[in-house]
Amino acid sequence: MKMNQNRRAFTVGALQLAGAAVALSAGLPAHAQKVSYAGKTIEWVVPFGTGGGTDVWARFLAPYLSKYLPGNPNVVIRNVTGGGSITGANQYAADAKPDGLSILGTSGSTQFPYLLGDRRVRYDYKKWEVIIGGPTGGVAYINPKFGVTSIRDLAKLRGQKLVYASQGATSLDLVPLLSFRMLGLDVQHVFGMQSRGAGRLAFERGEATIDYQTSSAYIKNSLPLVQAGKAVPLFSWGVLDGNGQLQRDPAFPDLPHFAEAYQIVTGKAPSGTEWEAVRAFLISGFPANKLLVVPKETPRAIVETLRQAFRDMRNDPEYKAGVEKVLGGYDQSIDQAAEATFKLGTTIADPARDYVRSVLTKDFNVKFE
């Protein structure tokens, strides 16, 4: 970073919060400070096992973080499993120091228990600062045997019983659970799938009649079903624009996003408590699917240095190529976009939360103790 020539140059030494470092950080704007990670190691906590989506995301980005941070530190991934990511997030909330040497990557699976008010959750997103967001997308589709050729034919499903192969009522499959319900579809959710891939296989075998896949899996595995006349796409989940509004997913420009789909089916724009509930979990599960955070008390100079590394990363040709191959074409959000997505993806109004908890308790025997 360039130094402000009208100010004395200071260094946030050794990335410590002790004594002088705090005093120096407090008095200077981020652009007037220098942070060096030379000789340091950053621990990137992933509250999931190896090989999952969040682990793949973190391991893809870690070398670029090392490359573009001043001093080129080592960036190591530490997987902490348990509780569907609650264990690792709780540990991070309790133990992480605001020194820029420990960062946490969460996903919708971490955000959902937080939004639901799960009592096992000991972390609070309000106490974390977002560095980047990692969006993803997805497409819902149906078996063509019902005579549906697009979302406009959904009235043909009145009186029809659909089957969805689900990983669990409070997993990321909560988004289709709430969304199908809002569209007025009669869907039986069969739980126990170990992955969305297993759900797709159930669809291919005819055991499930409606499904969704994340964008990369849809393009690779479900689009061939569409092309073979064995599946009919209905809608995408959508992406967020700069104002936090749903827009069509650029990967699927011909498909309406969910809010559009609802308006096509009902003739009116979505609104009310049910929509607020769907919107909160949809954003948390897709546009805000991955969030990289640090403790709120982390000095601004360190936060800015981390963000700048990711800004620089986005211009790297190898990174751009990898985004298509590894991340399904979804670039990382930073700065105001990341902050807006972070807020929307980790916030829910009390009436909307109460509605979701009521649905899960009454219809799916989920216990909130």
Structural domains present in the chain: 10-135+288-345 (3.40.190.150), 138-285 (3.40.190.10)
What percent of the chain lies above the pLDDT cut of 70?
A: 91
Interval 119-132 mean pLDDT: 97
Residues 301, 26 contacting (CB under 8 angstroms)? no
Nearest to 24 by CA among 1, 8, 42: 8
Which pLDDT band, with edges at 50, 70 and 90, does 96 fall under?
very high
So what's the pLDDT on residue 32? 45
- For 257, list phi and psi in degrees, rounded to 5: -80, 175
Residue 31 has pLDDT above 60, yes or no: no
- For the stretch 133-164, pLDDT in tens is 999 999 999 999 999 999 999 999 989 999 99
Find out whether 65 and 41 touch, Cβ atoms under 8 Å.
Answer: no
Q: What would the mean pLDDT of 19-47 be, rounded to a whole number?
A: 68
Global pTM reads 0.88
Residue 315, judged by CB atoms within 10 A of its CB (0-12, 13-18, 19+), counts as: exposed
* Sequence-distant (≥ 6) Cβ neighbours of residue 346 within 8 angstroms: 111, 114, 115, 125, 126, 284, 288, 291
Question: Ramachandran region of residue 3, left (φ > 0), alpha (ψ -120 to 50) or beta?
Answer: beta
- pLDDT at residue 4, as a whole number: 38
- DSSP-based three-state secondary structure for 48: coil
Q: CA separation (Å) from 325 to 8, 215, 317, 329?
A: 45, 12, 13, 7
Which has the closest alpha carbon to 134: 44, 71, 197, 256? 44
Note the pLDDT of residue 51. 87
* Coil, helix or strand at residue 2: coil
Residue 344: both structure tokens together: 């929307």
Cβ-based neighbours of 223, under 8 Å, separated by 6 or more: none
- d(CA 133, CA 367) in angstroms, rounded, equals 31
| pLDDT average, residue stretch 346-364 | 97
**Average pLDDT value for residue range 96-108:** 97
| pLDDT, mean of residues 16-45 | 63
pLDDT band at 40 (very low <50, low <70, confident <90, very high): very high
State how far the Cα of 274 lies from the Cα of 253, in Å rounded to an integer: 26
For residue 163, give the nearest of 196, 214, 203 by alpha carbon: 203
Q: Which residues pair with 45 in a beta bridge?
A: 78, 104
- The whole-number pLDDT of residue 241 equals 87
271 three-state secondary structure? coil
In this prediction, residue 13 carries a pLDDT of 40
What pLDDT, on a 0 to 100 scale, did the predictor assign at position 281?
A: 98
